Chain A
């Protein structure tokens, strides 16, 4: 009996540790070097995955960094955006935003309603970047199976863009880093499961750097004077999933759970603000 109790305690402690890892590491690598026999280890929710490929970051024929591949991960914690920040940064909400977060309900999360996650919220599903002349695309398996377009032809943002879920994105290269500048957001999506809000004044700057063949660092600067006292930068990373292609995920097909969701907005382990 005592052994069973101790075993249960050990499992609960391990589970909490794993959740902590998931929260801190957007790629959700819970294997940490273990369980990699028979073809690989865990990447996020995916088990027995091939090892992350190694080697130098590839380049296209014209020398531009090649961002192709199936990626898993994101530039921020989708559980709680305050969990993965650039050292020294802080999320300081304006009073109205702080009050709103405390009243938000899980059932109202656009993500739970199969609506877009916006930027920088990630998902447990992989995605691709497609680089074509003048325009790049980010193609999501999750995040309601949607896509973003990032103009690379040197154009500017429109003077008064209509507010949208993904805004208006223009990109450029700074050395080996792909920088995506986006404005023109609506105020509908939540930054995370706990419900951090934003306004139409949101301006994001994403910085993607493929550090080697299998890894990408991602930083996202959030500047929204309508909701936050100062800008802050989230940090995350993505890893190549070598053994898969994007698969279909149509969230709207049968969103049965929505009618059963209750309680305050909360993270995967039940954490609230």
Chain B
């Protein structure tokens, strides 16, 4: 199997908890608490030090939970191909990542996949990390 990920990509997709610019990612998120969520975007916050977006996730009983999902800072994101409207309210997305250590409905959005196959990650719009 070809490993097409660069070293940077490996950081993003294997550990997933890199430096988050002003604190350790491992101090906030637990890499052993994996999340895999599909839901509808309810809000995008293009703010510092981290952008956030929120999704409503419906479970098998119909109960809806709103998740807060974290990205890098806007200045990092735009240098890596993101735009402030790369994710919009109403979009359906599938997000994988890690949950906050405190168990709240808060996580780091390691990968974001749209129904048409478009992909983003918490740092970059470049799928292959290059």
B-binding residues in A (CB < 8 A)? 3, 7-8, 10-12, 14-19, 21-22, 30-32, 34-35, 37-38, 41-42, 45-49, 78-79, 106-107, 109, 111-112, 114, 123-125, 141-142, 193, 244, 247-251, 253-257, 260-263, 266-270
Contact = CB atoms under 8 A, between A and B. Distances in A.
Contact of B130 (A41, A107, A250): A41
Interface in B66-83: 68, 70, 72-76, 78-81
B101 to A, nearest CB: 5
Contact of B48 (A8, A21, A249): A249
Interface string B6-44: 111011011101111111111110000000000000000
Contact of A260 (B21, B49, B100): B100
Given A15-B11, A32-B7, A262-B102, A249 B23 contact: no
Contacts of A14: 3, 5, 7, 10, 14
A256 B22 contact: no
B11 A30 contact: yes
A256 B28 CA distance: 11
B106 A260 contact: yes
A245 B74 CA distance: 14
Given A18-B7, A262-B27, A263-B27, A112 B22 contact: yes
Given A35-B8, A263-B26, 17 more contacts: A7-B3, A11-B3, A11-B14, A18-B10, A35-B128, A37-B130, A45-B123, A46-B79, A112-B22, A114-B22, A124-B19, A125-B75, A257-B20, A260-B28, A260-B101, A268-B25, A268-B26
Q: What are the nearest 8 A-B pairs in CB distance?
A: A268-B19, A106-B27, A35-B130, A270-B26, A14-B10, A247-B75, A112-B23, A11-B14
A142 B72 CA distance: 13
Nearest to B76: A45
Nearest to A111: B22
A48 B130 contact: yes
A113 to B, nearest CB: 9
A261 B75 contact: no
12 contacts: A15-B7, A22-B19, A34-B7, A46-B80, A47-B8, A48-B126, A49-B79, A123-B22, A124-B21, A125-B76, A253-B47, A260-B104
Contacts of B123: 45
Given A7-B3, A48-B130, A244-B79, A18 B11 contact: yes
B27 A30 contact: no
A15 B12 CA distance: 8
A127 to B, nearest CB: 12
Contact of A270 (B11, B20, B24): B24
Contacts of B27: 106-107, 112, 261-263, 266
A138 to B, nearest CB: 18
A79 B19 contact: yes
Given A247-B75, A256-B50, A266 B24 contact: yes
A11 B129 CA distance: 13
B20 to A, nearest CB: 7
Contacts of A249: 48-49, 73-75
Contacts of B8: 18, 30-31, 35, 42, 47
A253 B24 contact: no
A19 B101 contact: no
B7 A47 contact: no
